[in-house]
A and B are shown apart, each in its own frame.
Chain A
Amino acid sequence: MESFVFYIFAFMVVAGGWVVIYSNNLIYSAFSLLFTFVGLAGLYGLLMADFIAATQILIYAGGVLILLLFGIMLTARKTSIEITQSNLPRLPGAIISSLIFLLLMVVIFSEPNWNSATNPGVKETVPVIGKLLMTKYLIPFELASILLLAALIGSVFIARREDS
């Protein structure tokens, strides 16, 4: 049953991604990201990473996607234009994606500590994540928040410049 659920979510991710890339309509691309994000959250859930799954939906579907859609709908009347790309750079694309695939495989197979039937992992993920964020990964966590704050202030500055 788990593999059946896995294939449903994997299909959602791949089909959503396919529409994002190949749709001629910008708004369809943006909306189909929803299925990719939700499918990814489902995959995280299957891997017993419940906190990551909920965060995935909250940040990506509830935040990033909404900002994308607002950006498309508010900035320009680009929503009705058919977007086509004629010069698909197939060879560089193939090289880059196979290199990324190779890199991912190396990382996956060099990590010995995967959860399995004999190594079931942690039951409650949230306390562990919270402790790690406040101790071992405190500096990256704070750096990320400072980066986000800087981006926020920068975007307000750029948006407001025409007033003066």
Chain B
Amino acid sequence: MDYFIQIVTDLLPGLDGLPVWLVIPSIMFMFGALIFTGISIYSLIILWFERKIAAHMQDRLGPMEVGGWHGWLQTVADAVKLLLKEDIIPAVADRKLFKLAPYIVFLAAFSVFAVLPFSDKIVGSELNIGIFYILAVSSIGVVGILMAGWASNNKWALFGSMRSVAQLVSYEIPIGLSILVVVMSVGSLSMRDIVMAQDGGIFNWMIWQNAPFNFIAFLILFIAGTAETNRVPFDIPEAESELVAGFHVEYSGMRFSIFFLAEYANMLAVGIIASTLFLGGWQGITGASSAPGIGLIWMLLKGFLIVLVMIWFRWTLPRLRVDQLMYVCWKVLVPISFINMVGAGIWIGLSS
């Protein structure tokens, strides 16, 4: 944030004359707008990628017409169509909660980006409790999902939101336990300290530390993160063959696209969190580079790689049933992550 404030004040020297209480919030607003624009552009690109990858995995071509080269403008056209669509609120829906719900889901998804370190300097806020803050604010989204499902006054929406909330609350536990393994080996909750502890090339990355334990923690975080974003094979809340579309079935136009944007933002957030915790964050394969912008490129590359693996999951694995979903969390992932955490603790205790 300090770096961003410095850039803005260098670009606009007239800002010095204005009072601080006006300048700082407006610079914060600009940073937020930058993140929002970035997420929107990323969503358009990754959506096109997803459709192309899906098509090629199924031996199709996917979008080929709009924009000329391999239909690259297709998702832009879709976004414009979504924005122009009529915003329908069902007659018997609870209007206040129905209107409020997308914003709460959106707020939770975007609050996470405030502490994600995109590079050495591009970071919203360097909180001491960075990773714990992420766990906390992402749980607000659950309330928004429940609100959307209830306010729609639709049984599929309610079932979808109930399933979604049960899933999100359950899978938070293995995520927390696997994050704890990293926190134990670094000794700090700050995202900056965690990245700094992985200094010096690919073999110092957190994923290779503490023998097998950190690698297992990475796998658990990745599986549970896929579940947290409601992606296949954990997309039972939106299972279109049984629930139409889950908690956002009654939403259309702009409000639907807010949910959609939040989902894709969550995917990127999971990618960036996983690569910050385990894959060296903004540092390259040979270590941190001093050139400006290199850190950002590495960070986005790693984040995109994880998002691409999630897309690959979607066309590889069949969807789990509701009972299997809970079985995987409570009887497989939670015990493994507890044992893993104890093992990592013993390993750290013995090696220090």
Give the interface of A toward B (CB within 8 A): 1, 4, 27-28, 31, 34, 38, 41, 50-51, 54-55, 57-58, 61-63, 65-66, 69-70, 73-74, 79, 123-126
- A selection of 5 A-B contacts at a CB cut-off of 8 Å is A34-B140, A54-B136, A62-B136, A62-B140, A65-B143
Give the size range of B's interface with the partner: 20 to 34
Complex interface bits, B136-168 against A, C-beta within 8 A gives 1, otherwise 0: 110110110011001000000010001001000
* Total A-B Cβ pairs within 8 A: 73
Asked if A66 and B165 sit within 8 Å, CB to CB, the answer is yes
A41 to B140, alpha carbons, bound, how many Å?
12
A-B CB proximity, top 4 nearest:
A62-B139, A54-B136, A1-B21, A57-B136
Chain A residue at minimum C-beta to C-beta distance from B183: A126
Asked if A69 and B143 sit within 8 Å, CB to CB, the answer is yes
B28 shortest CB reach to chain A, Å: 11
Interchain CB contact (< 8 A) of B140 among A61, A123, A124, A125: A61
A64 to B187, alpha carbons, bound, how many Å?
29
Asked if B128 and A124 sit within 8 Å, CB to CB, the answer is yes
Residue of B94, B136, B147, B158 ringed by the most chain A CB atoms within 10 A: B136
A65 to B146, alpha carbons, bound, how many Å?
11
Residues of A within 8 A of B21 (CB): 1, 4
Residues A51 and B132 in contact in the complex (CB < 8 Å), given A31-B97, A126-B189: yes
Asked if A70 and B165 sit within 8 Å, CB to CB, the answer is yes
Asked if A1 and B24 sit within 8 Å, CB to CB, the answer is yes
Residue of B104, B127, B135, B139 ringed by the most chain A CB atoms within 10 A: B139
Residues A125 and B128 in contact in the complex (CB < 8 Å), given A31-B147, A57-B139: yes
Residues A61 and B139 in contact in the complex (CB < 8 Å), given A1-B20, A27-B150: yes
Asked if B143 and A31 sit within 8 Å, CB to CB, the answer is yes
Asked if B20 and A38 sit within 8 Å, CB to CB, the answer is no
A58 to B25, alpha carbons, bound, how many Å?
26
A74 to B163, alpha carbons, bound, how many Å?
13
A62 to B21, alpha carbons, bound, how many Å?
32
Residues A66 and B132 in contact in the complex (CB < 8 Å), given A1-B24, A31-B147, A34-B143: no
A125 to B128, alpha carbons, bound, how many Å?
8
Residues A57 and B140 in contact in the complex (CB < 8 Å), given A66-B146, A73-B150: yes
Residues A66 and B169 in contact in the complex (CB < 8 Å), given A54-B129, A126-B128, A126-B189: yes
Q: Within B105-151, which residues are at the interface with A (CB < 8 Å)?
A: 127-129, 132-133, 135-137, 139-140, 142-143, 146-147, 150
Given contact pairs A1-B24, A54-B129, A57-B139, enumerate 16 new A-B contacts (beta carbons under 8 Å). A1-B21, A31-B143, A57-B136, A58-B135, A58-B139, A62-B139, A62-B142, A62-B172, A63-B139, A66-B142, A70-B165, A73-B146, A73-B162, A123-B128, A124-B128, A126-B132
Residues of B within 8 A of A4 (CB): 21
Asked if B132 and A54 sit within 8 Å, CB to CB, the answer is yes
A74 to B150, alpha carbons, bound, how many Å?
11
Asked if B128 and A50 sit within 8 Å, CB to CB, the answer is yes
Asked if B142 and A58 sit within 8 Å, CB to CB, the answer is no
Residues of A within 8 A of B162 (CB): 70, 73-74
Residues of B within 8 A of A27 (CB): 94, 97, 150
A105 shortest CB reach to chain B, Å: 30
A41 to B189, alpha carbons, bound, how many Å?
18
Chain B residue at minimum C-beta to C-beta distance from A67: B169
A31 to B94, alpha carbons, bound, how many Å?
13
